[in-house]
């Protein structure tokens, strides 16, 4: 209903797709649905609490019945749960529920349905460069849950390929979203100093990559974990020279300096 999920829904509608939207905040969903319908496509909204895998387990079937069939799944829900010294079981449980368990629940319903119906399908999830980067204090739960998503996608791709079903995920770096802002200014400054592109990414940039992976132009792509991070995940990139981000080309809407 916001961030990458909203941008992806609008991107897919712009490419001619009808979209089933699901999230906990129904008011925000209705706003996105209205934009999609204004663009001439159909949109349906379903309330689902993705921190509850049991609720998510029924989402695939509900979406199928609502739209009379589903041909692809884009899972952009995410929870940035910070860990604490000594552990925080509640934060760990919520982070893994949203980032992994609910994704698995929806995916397994749809892939089974596609097999039964003998129809092709495509799954794409939003992982994170945090799944593969050097360890970051406080991101144990988030990084592990996103790494688990990426490995699940790889294994799933092997299991379902013979049925004409593809599975991929995108690993964004820091993006201009409410969740990206939750990392705090200190983490944000440190990350930006190591982005060769010199700026934070925009949701629409990630949405375009997600849309590509769901499209026919990616028909031979499966099991991929595609970074969309401005080069952040290339390795141990030294901090960029002072003033570099402000000199970088602007993104779709703003420069890094304007978005600080």
State what percent of residues in the chain have pLDDT above 70. 85
Total structural domains within the chain: 1
d(CA 244, CA 189): 13
CA angle 254-257-260, nearest 5°? 95
CA distances from 74 to 56, 65, 211, 227 (A): 14, 17, 9, 16
The residue among 143, 131, 134 whose CA lies nearest residue 235 is: 134
What is the rounded average pLDDT of the residues 190-202? 82
- Report the share of the chain in percent with pLDDT over 90: 64
User: Which structural domain, as residue segments, surrounds residue 237?
Assistant: 72-259
Average pLDDT taken over every residue of the chain: 87
18 lies in a domain? no
Paired residues of 74 in beta bridges:
124
* pLDDT exceeds 90 at position 7: yes
Confidence (pTM): 0.85
pLDDT in tens, 143-157: 999 999 999 999 999
CATH number of the domain within which 247 lies: 3.40.50.720
Q: Which has more confidence, 175 or 188?
A: 175
Determine, yes or no, domain membership for 192. yes
- Is residue 243 scored above 60 in pLDDT? no
Q: Is residue 51 part of a domain?
A: no
Q: Identify the band that residue 182 occupies on the pLDDT scale cut at 50, 70 and 90.
A: low
* 56 occurs within a structural domain: no
pLDDT at res. 248 = 47
Cα 39 to Cα 50: distance, rounded to the nearest angstrom: 28
Residue 196 has pLDDT above 90, yes or no: no
List the catalytic residues: 142
Helix (H, G, I), strand (E, B) or coil at 167: strand
Does residue 186 surpass a pLDDT of 80?
Answer: no
> Rounded mean pLDDT of 233-239?
62
Lowest mean pLDDT among 134-148, 169-183, 192-206, 218-232: 169-183
226 domain residue, yes or no: yes
Which pair of tokens denotes residue 73?
């799944």
Averaged pLDDT, 201-221: 97
Does 130 map to a domain?
yes
Tell me: the pLDDT tens digits for 96-117? 999 999 999 999 999 999 999 9
Segment holding 170, helix H or strand E: strand 165-172
Answer whether residue 128 is part of any domain: yes
């Amino acid at each position: 209903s916001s961030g990458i999920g909203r941008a992806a829904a609008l991107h897919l509608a712009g490419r001619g797709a009808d979209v089933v939207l699901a999230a906990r905040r129904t008011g925000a969903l209705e706003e996105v649905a209205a934009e999609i319908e204004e663009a001439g496509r159909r949109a349906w909204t379903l309330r689902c609490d993705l921190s509850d895998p049991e609720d998510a387990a029924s989402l695939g079937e509900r979406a199928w019945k609502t739209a009379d069939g589903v041909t692809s799944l884009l899972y952009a829900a995410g929870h940035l749960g910070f860990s604490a010294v000594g552990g925080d079981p509640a934060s760990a449980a919520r982070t893994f529920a949203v980032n992994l368990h609910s994704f698995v629940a929806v995916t397994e319903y749809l892939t089974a349905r596609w097999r039964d119906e003998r129809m092709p399908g495509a799954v794409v999830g939003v992982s994170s460069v945090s799944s593969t980067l050097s360890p970051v204090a406080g991101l144990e739960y988030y990084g592990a849950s996103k790494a688990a998503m990426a490995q699940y996608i790889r294994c799933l791709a092997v299991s379902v390929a013979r049925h004409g079903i593809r599975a991929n995920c995108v690993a964004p770096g820091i993006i201009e979203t409410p969740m990206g802002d939750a990392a705090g200014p200190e983490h944000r400054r440190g990350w930006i100093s190591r982005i060769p592109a010199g700026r934070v990414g925009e949701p629409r940039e990630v949405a375009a990559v997600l849309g590509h992976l769901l499209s026919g132009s990616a028909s031979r792509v499966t099991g991929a974990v595609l970074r969309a991070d401005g080069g952040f995940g290339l390795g141990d990139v030294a901090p960029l020279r002072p003033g570099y981000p402000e000199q970088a080309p602007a993104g779709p809407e703003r420069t890094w300096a304007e978005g600080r």
